[in-house]
Amino acid sequence: MPVSRRRIPLRPRAFLGIPILAEYLVVLAIAATSAAGTGLPARLSDGEFWNLVNDLSEQNGSFRSDNLLSNEARFQFVIPELLEATRSGRAYLGVGPEQNFTYIAAVKPRVAFIIDIRRGNLDLHLMYKALFELSADRADFVSRLFSRKRPPVLRAAPTAAQLFSAYLQAEASRELYERNLHDIEQQLVTKHGFPLTSEDLRGIEYVYNAFFIYGPGIQYSSTEGFGASSQPTYVDLMLATDGSGRARGYLSSDELYVYVRDLQTRNLVVPVVGNFAGPKAIRAVGAYLKQRDTTVSAFYLSNVEQYLRLQRVWNTFCANVAVLPLDETSTFIRAGHGGRIARGTALTAELGSIAAEVEGCGLR
């Protein structure tokens, strides 16, 4: 089905300005008010979830893209090695959009924090949260995500290829879009009682409208007015495998989808606005986890480190990570260049030992 290239106007984003002392005092307050050794809760109440979103977050920052989906075509290649390196039942940290769901489904943490410099990423994850909760299975989820009617005939437990093949034949429905957008807002504001601002509601509408317009063919740069042929589409990312032919995407099986959905329904996927080199977000997450005797299993960085190094603040990021609860199995997941595939240069993933790499950072 042809994919529209209509430009979606971008919302202006403020540059990050951080009152450093005040942010550090908030981190200390989070640590002081958390009961030591309480362990992670089985679920967070709606109030606890929203308090975490607010208390852990920094001011809104900016990035050159709205980053509505990944452009890392080979991000699954590292998963077999990741499973050998890490332990389940811990905490996952990540950045960016939907690729986090695939890593979460693989690592199987008890709680996940998605930290991104842009408030727009928080809006994106709130949209996803509502869609997961409203959608009992993968077919309903894809129907809602792209505002396409569910195919009348769809085999039980379809593969990702079968699932998306069915939806690529479906037309976008304005009626479904408007109904689903209303349901998303009702789920977040009425059911959960989250005090979303008018800006957040506009942000969620902006994100959801992009998925409606571009459909399963949406790419990383679609909302910039063009879609680069070298960038994978949403379908490409969902049909990707780990290199051995095994599909590990969060929409590749009922089991993986249900794991992520279960965390979402228990308010245990927490989006946070934060600069990796800022004084608050990572440190506040660390304080929360330490007070609950929970170690970080994996921290997905994408390619954020290249920007930190360009801005000469990587050492600050390193010192932030050094305060996280870590052990020898805690693992960085990074984006890297992995050669060429059918859609151009492929971004793959690489692993690193967090504890070994940040040793001594807090003393610098």
Structure token digits, residue 102: 């695939």
Answer whether residue 264 shows pLDDT above 60. yes
Q: Summarize pLDDT for 187-237 with one digit per residue, the tens.
A: 999 999 999 999 999 999 999 999 999 999 999 877 775 555 678 999 999
Give the model's confidence band at 37: pLDDT under 50 very low, under 70 low, under 90 confident, else very high. Answer: very low
Task: Please state whether beta strands 296-302 and 91-94 pair in parallel, antiparallel, or not at all (unpaired).
Answer: parallel
- At 172 the pLDDT is 95
- Residue 229: its pLDDT value, please? 64
Q: Work out whether strand 269-273 and strand 344-353 pair parallel, antiparallel, or are unpaired.
A: unpaired
Show the CA angle centred on residue 209, arms to residues 204 and 214, nearest 5°: 135
What are the respective helix, strand and coil percentages of the chain, to the nearest 5? 45, 15, 40
Residue 13 has pLDDT above 90, yes or no: no
Q: Which of 284, 256, 290 is nearest to 270 (CA)?
A: 284
As a whole number of angstroms, the distance between CA 95 and CA 276 comes to 10
- Asked if residue 99 lies in contact with residue 238, where contact means CB atoms within 8 angstroms, the answer is no
Give the model's pLDDT for residue 347. Answer: 60
Which segments of the chain does DSSP mark as H helices, in order? 20-33, 46-56, 79-85, 99-107, 119-134, 138-146, 160-168, 174-185, 198-214, 234-239, 254-265, 281-290, 304-310, 314-322, 354-358
Q: Is 82's pLDDT higher than 90?
A: yes
Per-residue pLDDT at 40: 95
**Could you report the per-residue pLDDT of 274-328, keeping only the tens digit for each?**
999 999 999 999 999 999 999 999 999 999 999 999 999 999 999 999 999 999 9
* Element at 116 (helix H, strand E): strand 111-116
- Mean pLDDT of all residues in the chain? 87
Task: Tell me what pLDDT residue 175 has.
Answer: 98
Contact in structure between 271 and 126 (CB atoms under 8 Å)? yes
pLDDT of residue 361: 84
Per-residue DSSP letter, 24: H
pLDDT for position 66: 79
The span from the CA of 304 to the CA of 115, in Å, is 11
Residue 283 tokens, joined: 């440190």
Model confidence band, residue 362 (pLDDT cutoffs 50, 70, 90): low
pLDDT at residue 58 in the model: 95
